[in-house]
Chains A and B, each alone.
Chain A
Amino acid sequence: MIALEFILSGMLAAATPFLLAALGELVGERAGVLNLGVEGVMALGAAIAFIIVYHGGGHILAFAGAGLAGALLSLLFAFAALGLQANQVAAGLAIGILGQGLSALFGKTYESLTVKGLQKLAIPGLSDLPVVGGLFVQDIVVWLSLAATLAIWTTFAFTKTGLLLRAVGENPKAAHSIGYPVIAIRVAAVAFGGLMSGFAGAYAATVYTPLWADGMIAGRGWIALALVVFGTWLTARIFLGACLFGAVSLAGLAAQAGGVELPSQLLASMPYLVTIIVLGIISSNRRLLKLNGVASLGEPFKP
Chain B
Amino acid sequence: MTAPLLSLRGISKRYGEVRANQAVDLDVAPRSIHAILGENGAGKSTLMKLIYGVETPDSGEMLWEGAPLTLASPAAARRQGIGMVFQHFSLFETLTVIENIRLVVPGRTAALIARVRELGAEFGLEVDPFAHIHELSVGERQRVEIIRCLMTDPKLLILDEPTSVLPPQSVAKLFDTLQRLRDGGVSVLFISHKLEEIRAICDRATILRAGKVTGHVDPREHDAHDLARMMIGRDMPEPPPMVPSQPGETMLELIGLTYTPDDPFGMPLKDLALSLKAGEILGIAGISGNGQAELSELISGEIRLPFDDREQVQMMGEPVGHLGPAERRKLGFSFVPEDRLGRGAVQGMSLARNSLLTAHPLGLVRHGLIPMAQANDFTRRCIADHDVRTSGVEAEAGGLSGGNLQKFIVGREMMLAPKLFFLAQPTWGVDIGAATTIRQKLVALRNQGVAILVISEEIDELFDICDRIQVVSQGRLSPSLETRKTRPEDIGRYMIGAGAPA
Contacts and interface: CB of A to CB of B under 8 A. Distances in A.
Interface in A134-176: 160, 163-164, 166-167, 170-171, 173-176
Contacts of A180: 75, 103
24 contacts: A163-B95, A163-B99, A166-B94, A167-B92, A167-B95, A170-B93, A170-B94, A170-B95, A171-B90, A173-B90, A174-B89, A174-B92, A175-B90, A175-B92, A177-B54, A177-B86, A177-B90, A178-B104, A179-B74, A179-B78, A180-B75, A286-B262, A291-B264, A295-B93
A287 B74 contact: no
Nearest to A162: B99
B486 interface: no
Contacts of A290: 262-265
B102 interface: yes
B91 interface: yes
Given A173-B90, A174-B92, A164 B264 contact: no
Nearest to B148: A178
A286 B102 CA distance: 30
A62 B116 CA distance: 50
A170 B86 CA distance: 17
Interface string A173-214: 111111110000000000000000000000000000000000
B92 A171 contact: yes
B94 to A, nearest CB: 6
Nearest to A293: B94
Interface string B35-49: 000000000000000
Contacts, number: 61
Interface string B72-97: 01111010000010100111111100
Contacts of A175: 90, 92, 103
A170 B94 CA distance: 8
Contacts of B92: 166-167, 170-171, 174-175
A170 B132 CA distance: 14
A177 B91 CA distance: 10
Contact of B74 (A160, A163, A166, A177): A177
Contacts of A163: 95, 99, 102-103
A173 B76 CA distance: 17
Contacts of B78: 179
Contact of B103 (A178, A286, A295): A178
Contacts of A166: 92, 94-95
B90 A174 contact: yes
- What are the 5 tightest A-B residue pairs by CB atom distance, in nearest-first order? A179-B75, A174-B90, A179-B74, A177-B90, A286-B262
A290 B93 CA distance: 12
Contacts of B95: 163, 166-167, 170
A290 B104 CA distance: 25
Chain A interface residue number, banded: 20 to 34
Nearest to A170: B92
Contacts of B104: 178-179
Contacts of A176: 74
B133 to A, nearest CB: 10
Interface of A: 160, 163-164, 166-167, 170-171, 173-180, 286-287, 290-291, 295
Nearest to A158: B109
A229 B94 CA distance: 18
Contacts of B264: 287, 290-291
B263 A164 contact: no
A164 B54 contact: no
Q: Which of A164, A174, A290 has the most chain B CB atoms closer than 10 A to its own CB?
A: A174
Contacts of B84: 177
Nearest to A177: B90
A161 to B, nearest CB: 11
Contacts of B76: 179
A177 B86 CA distance: 9
Contact of B91 (A164, A174, A287): A174
Nearest to A160: B102
B340 to A, nearest CB: 20
Contacts of B86: 177
A286 B263 contact: yes
Contacts of B74: 176-179
Given A163-B95, A167-B92, A179 B73 contact: yes
A175 B99 CA distance: 13
B263 A178 contact: no
Nearest to A171: B92
A175 B90 CA distance: 7
Nearest to B99: A163
A179 B105 CA distance: 11
Contacts of B102: 160, 163
Contacts of B91: 171, 174
Interface in B261-280: 262-265
Given A174-B90, A177-B74, A167 B265 contact: no
Contacts of A291: 94, 264
Contacts of B75: 178-180
A166 B93 CA distance: 11
A268 B357 CA distance: 50
A286 B89 CA distance: 25
A160 B98 CA distance: 12
Contacts of A174: 89-92
Q: Which of B92, B95, B99 has the most chain A CB atoms closer than 10 A to its own CB?
A: B92
A175 B84 CA distance: 13
A167 B262 contact: no
Given A180-B103, A290-B264, A295-B93, 9 more contacts: A163-B102, A170-B93, A171-B91, A174-B92, A177-B54, A177-B84, A179-B75, A290-B262, A291-B264
Interface in B43-65: 54
A210 B99 CA distance: 45
A184 B146 CA distance: 27
Nearest to B84: A177
Contacts of A295: 93-94
A179 B152 CA distance: 13
Nearest to B134: A291
A290 B266 CA distance: 11
Nearest to B93: A170
Contacts of A286: 262-263
Contact of A167 (B54, B73, B89, B103): B103
Contact of A178 (B90, B99, B262): B90
Contacts of B103: 160, 163-164, 167, 175, 178, 180
A24 B90 CA distance: 28
A163 B92 CA distance: 10
A271 B74 CA distance: 48
Interface string B12-30: 0000000000000000000
Contacts of B73: 179
Nearest to A285: B262
A162 to B, nearest CB: 10
